[in-house]
Structure 1
Amino acid sequence: MTEPTRPDTVAESAGAEDADARADRPSRWLVDDWLHRLVERAPVTPVVELPITEAFGHVLAEDVTSGHPLPLWSNSAMDGYALRAADAEHGFERTLRIIGEVAAGSSDDPALGAGEAVRIMTGAPVPSDADAVVPVEQTNGDDRGVGEWGERTVRILAPVDAGANVRARGEDVGQGATIAQRGWRLTAAGVSALAAAGTAAVRVHRQPRVAVVATGSELLPPGATLARGQIPESNSLLMAGMLREAGIEPVEVRHSRDDVIGLTRMLARLGEMCDAVITTGGVGPGTHDIVRIALEPEPGVIGVRVAMKPGQHQRAGVLAGGACVFALPGNPVSAAVSFELFVRPTLLAMQGAARIQRHRVHARAAVGWRGSAGRLQVLPVILRDTEDGLACEPAVHARRVSHSVGGYGASDAYAIVGEERGDVEAGETVTVIQVGA
């Protein structure tokens, strides 16, 4: 990303930008520039030490090295017999004497003489005198039949090379090797690898404390009896769910009626106790857009128009209490798109994440749709696997995106159509971001 600029004006200083915003003349920003500004100004959360059992989903604050080699010792990759490969170098049909057994977790290290073998289980330490393992399926124990375990003797039925079916000590990771880097967000696989390498605790960035506030006097709880002009409140569920999908449990989920004084007090309290506050609704130029009105006195918050559809009107910055605020549009899909493009990446940046954007892939448009010339189009789509590869089709009508919450519920990706592209024809390739849990 590049330093944010105003595409439709001569570049101005940050002070002039803020003065322009306080005068409530929202400037027009490109998507990448607006994201860059948010990320650049967002504070990074403190570093804490957590036991590895609690570190899932956190971002590492420093590199982690392996406390011991992996594997810890040479061990068997198969259930079978540990032996000296030289004992079978003159042909397969060599019969060896069985002198014991080594199970997984055993500390036994039986001495092997010429013509001797031990039964061994997957993961068990290979005896120091052995250099190969033959799978039981390639043996005949006590002449009982192929694949049968023997008690006294075993006949080898396959070629044996030194090192066969042996996982050598340290072949995966050497002691002291870097196995996780600063900025990595710990996945299940990452936590497992660190635990296997002997890591008991890690230093990570504390996850942000985030509150959600949905605004609007017309909003009632789901299932309530609705009068004319009233609608079910769903944005708080949407934002809280998207936070959880990003690995963050919201600290508060609130609803504010169209009461500027009440909302101002709420934001002041949340601004002091949280790292970030997400609001939905009330960001436009209307006389009852209470979020815009409540945030106007905040010198660290600006309002912009972003060259995107949906989600053009945005307000964001840092509250006097110290928390970042993301004031998103009230239409559900507009709010969701804004969260995906701006809030999620910024929250990851606040945790010191090295990667804040999702991977983008290409898909074939199963049907055509109208574009949005001059603005980046972010269209909810449904992905399907086809014989020709990944395909997508709109989950909502391209001209009625922002409020189409019903159709949006079936989507699992966003098609990203550049502002210079225009309409998308069936069969064309588009860029998509896969979202969700």
Structure 2
Amino acid sequence: MSSTKPIHSRLQDIFTAMPGYDPHAVSVEQAQDIIGQFIQPLHITEQLPLRQSLGRVLAEDIVSAMNVPAHDNSAMDGFAFRGDDLPAIQDKQLRIVGTALAGRAYPGQTARDECIRITTGAVMPADCDTVIPQELVVASSDTHITIPAGKLRAGDNRRLTGEDLAAGKTVIRKGKILQPADLGLLASLGIAEASVQRRLRVAFFSTGDELRSLGEPLDEGCVYDSNRYTLYGMLTRLGCEAIDMGVVKDNPDALEAALCQACENADAIITSGGVSVGAADYTKEIMSKLGQVAFWSVAMRPGRPLAFGQIASNNKSAFLFGLPGNPVAVMVSFYFFARKALYQLMGAEAPSLPLIPATTVETIRKRPGRTEFQRGILTNTDNGELRVSVTGSQGSGILRSMSEANCIIVLRHDQNTVLSGEKVQVLLFDGLL
């Protein structure tokens, strides 16, 4: 996973080429750019049976070794005949000389003014290039049919050899996350196994003396840890192997031990909490001791305290995302920073996060100099206009707002207060959460 070039040198090259770089206050765009340049895909593959490959990242191009379909065949139940027998002016009668069924081809030849009864998928008889559907036949008997003038063109209702897949053609490129249709496509080529990337291993834990796991008594001043459950859900949705390391106390020795253990067992690490300026927040200090920190503060709301880098322990390395402790900030920073990076690490084509325009129904206050992510509710009016409103209080600790919302309103770095009736960009949760 590691490059032959030292971590520090690789990061320094990125920083040098980035005007105005300040690790204490990078913009959202700078942070995304640094992560995108620094992450290097894993190349650890495994061979899996086709059904077990669903949702996995394809590790090599799939090249078709055969034509699909292997022969010209009929797209309809009907009658196959020569295209030059099509009548131009008046209806024409053809004589039925045989039958072609799917899986049982007609072995003979066809002459002028002759046709073959044919079913969908049956191999086209020799000399035939056109099929008339049963329902378009003007008249029929056991021995003859009458075809109408001007209803068909030569070649209609015929599937060509290799029309779906041509021999020698790349049909699925590596990096694609295999979907149900892809499994069917591979099966149509007779492929029973696929080479896929090994499932990405991501260790995660929360930090804080005030956190309690579910089932533990809740002492005064303590809260139940919700971040590990949202992180588990988001990592599972990405197809990662999620390694839950529980809650780590605000103790530098305990944090260092947890990071080393995670580094030695995972490809990436996600922590929540411990990256702010509090006296008991040690993550940045330990990250710098074990590796290299690229940044630790992003000009955004929520989620300003956000660290990214790479650490090493016992000759193993892992990328590290130090997320904030507030629940909403964890989810926002995961989706706008960690998500794409993890796809990149697993060698996958990251599904885009499409932003769509919507009209605000209220004034949204904002000051320039940071990107803001507000939870919103998007509705579609009777005339098809998309309108969005905020969910209420936008505090980064109000997880309920993420549950109630169906989108995130993205307010750009240099954007000012948005007035009611103005356009904003929103990211839909549908298919994401």
Considering the TM-score relative to the shorter chain, is it more than 0.5? yes
Q: How many aligned residue pairs are there?
A: 413
Task: Decide whether aligned partners of structure 1 residues 434 and 187 sit closer, same or farther in structure 2, where only a CA change above 3 A counts.
Answer: farther
Question: Is residue 170 of structure 2 the alignment partner of residue 178 of structure 1?
Answer: yes
Of the candidates 400, 409, 413, which is equivalent to residue 403 of structure 2? 409
Indicate conservation of the 8 Å contact 1:211/1:276, yes or no. yes
Indicate conservation of the 8 Å contact 2:203/2:266, yes or no. yes
Aligned residue for 1:343, secondary structure, equals: helix
Question: Is residue 390 of structure 2 the alignment partner of residue 394 of structure 1?
Answer: yes
Residue 395 of structure 1 aligns with an amino acid whose one-letter code is T
Question: Is residue 322 of structure 2 the alignment partner of residue 327 of structure 1?
Answer: yes
Distance in 1 (alpha carbons) for counterparts of 2:29 and 2:301: 14
Give the aligned partner of residue 127 of structure 1. Answer: 125
Distance in 2 (alpha carbons) for counterparts of 1:106 and 1:251: 54
Over residues 202-256 of structure 1, what are the superposed CA-to-partner deviations in whole Å (9 max), with x where a residue is unaligned?
Answer: 5443332112212334333457664542333221111111112222231335333
Question: Is residue 260 of structure 2 the alignment partner of residue 273 of structure 1?
Answer: no
Question: Is residue 24 of structure 2 the alignment partner of residue 27 of structure 1?
Answer: yes
Shift of 1:76: 1.8
Identity of aligned residues (%): 31
Aligned residue for 1:82, secondary structure, equals: strand
Shift of 1:318: 1.4
Distance in 2 (alpha carbons) for counterparts of 1:416 and 1:126: 56
Aligned residue for 1:28, secondary structure, equals: coil
Residue 33 of structure 2 aligns with an amino acid whose one-letter code is H
Residue 121 of structure 1 aligns with an amino acid whose one-letter code is T
Of the candidates 332, 335, 343, which is equivalent to residue 340 of structure 1? 335
Give the aligned partner of residue 78 of structure 2. Answer: 80
Indicate conservation of the 8 Å contact 2:69/2:165, yes or no. yes
Of the candidates 145, 162, 167, which is equivalent to residue 154 of structure 1? 145
Shift of 1:356: 6.6
Indicate conservation of the 8 Å contact 2:295/2:307, yes or no. yes
Give the aligned partner of residue 66 of structure 1. Answer: 64
Superposed CA RMSD: 3.1
Distance in 2 (alpha carbons) for counterparts of 1:199 and 1:396: 52
Distance in 2 (alpha carbons) for counterparts of 1:253 and 1:125: 59
Residue 131 of structure 2 aligns with an amino acid whose one-letter code is V
Gaps in structure 2 of 5+ consecutive residues: 1-12
Give the aligned partner of residue 431 of structure 1. Answer: 425
Of the candidates 108, 111, 125, which is equivalent to residue 113 of structure 1? 111
Give the aligned partner of residue 163 of structure 1. Answer: 155
Task: Decide whether aligned partners of structure 1 residues 43 and 365 sit closer, same or farther in structure 2, where only a CA change above 3 A counts.
Answer: same
Task: Decide whether aligned partners of structure 1 residues 172 and 220 sit closer, same or farther in structure 2, where only a CA change above 3 A counts.
Answer: same
Task: Decide whether aligned partners of structure 1 residues 229 and 92 sit closer, same or farther in structure 2, where only a CA change above 3 A counts.
Answer: farther
Over residues 55-109 of structure 1, what are the superposed CA-to-partner deviations in whole Å (9 max), with x where a residue is unaligned?
Answer: 4434444443322234332122222222223334255643434344433344444
Indicate conservation of the 8 Å contact 2:66/2:168, yes or no. yes
Question: Is residue 416 of structure 2 the alignment partner of residue 422 of structure 1?
Answer: yes
Over residues 319-340 of structure 1, what are the superposed CA-to-partner deviations in whole Å (9 max), with x where a residue is unaligned?
Answer: 2221111110111110111111
Residue 269 of structure 1 aligns with an amino acid whose one-letter code is Q
Distance in 2 (alpha carbons) for counterparts of 1:121 and 1:94: 22
Residue 358 of structure 2 aligns with an amino acid whose one-letter code is A
Shift of 1:349: 1.6
Distance in 2 (alpha carbons) for counterparts of 1:49 and 1:141: 59
Indicate conservation of the 8 Å contact 1:29/1:305, yes or no. yes
Aligned residue for 1:57, secondary structure, equals: coil
Gaps in structure 1 of 5+ consecutive residues: 12-16, 18-25, 143-149
Over residues 115-148 of structure 1, what are the superposed CA-to-partner deviations in whole Å (9 max), with x where a residue is unaligned?
Answer: 3333323233222232111112212564xxxxxx
Distance in 1 (alpha carbons) for counterparts of 2:101 and 2:362: 59
Give the aligned partner of residue 309 of structure 1. Answer: 301
Task: Decide whether aligned partners of structure 1 residues 341 and 245 sit closer, same or farther in structure 2, where only a CA change above 3 A counts.
Answer: same
Shift of 1:172: 4.0
Question: Is residue 50 of structure 2 the alignment partner of residue 41 of structure 1?
Answer: no
Over residues 364-412 of structure 1, what are the superposed CA-to-partner deviations in whole Å (9 max), with x where a residue is unaligned?
Answer: 3243311242101122223333334433332343xx3411210211333
Aligned residue for 2:404, secondary structure, equals: coil
| TM-score normalised over the length of structure 1 | 0.83
Shift of 1:417: 1.1
Distance in 2 (alpha carbons) for counterparts of 1:244 and 1:204: 17
Aligned residue for 2:290, secondary structure, equals: coil
Question: Is residue 234 of structure 2 the alignment partner of residue 242 of structure 1?
Answer: yes
Moved more, 186-195 or 80-89: 186-195
Give the aligned partner of residue 5 of structure 2. Answer: none
Give the aligned partner of residue 350 of structure 1. Answer: 345
Indicate conservation of the 8 Å contact 1:236/1:253, yes or no. no
Distance in 1 (alpha carbons) for counterparts of 2:15 and 2:375: 26
Moved more, 35-44 or 182-191: 182-191
Residue 417 of structure 1 aligns with an amino acid whose one-letter code is L
Question: Is residue 355 of structure 2 the alignment partner of residue 360 of structure 1?
Answer: yes
Give the aligned partner of residue 284 of structure 1. Answer: 276
Moved more, 423-432 or 388-397: 388-397
Of the candidates 250, 256, 267, which is equivalent to residue 264 of structure 1? 256
Shift of 1:308: 0.8
Aligned residue for 2:96, secondary structure, equals: strand
Aligned residue for 1:305, secondary structure, equals: coil
Distance in 1 (alpha carbons) for counterparts of 2:279 and 2:289: 16
Distance in 2 (alpha carbons) for counterparts of 1:3 and 1:296: 18
Shift of 1:301: 3.3
Aligned residue for 1:313, secondary structure, equals: coil
Task: Decide whether aligned partners of structure 1 residues 134 and 404 sit closer, same or farther in structure 2, where only a CA change above 3 A counts.
Answer: same
Shift of 1:284: 1.3
Distance in 2 (alpha carbons) for counterparts of 1:267 and 1:306: 22
Over residues 242-295 of structure 1, what are the superposed CA-to-partner deviations in whole Å (9 max), with x where a residue is unaligned?
Answer: 112222231335333444433332221111011011111122121333544544
Shift of 1:48: 1.8
Question: Is residue 361 of structure 2 the alignment partner of residue 369 of structure 1?
Answer: no
Distance in 1 (alpha carbons) for counterparts of 2:176 and 2:153: 40
Give the aligned partner of residue 7 of structure 2. Answer: none
| TM-score normalised over the length of structure 2 | 0.83
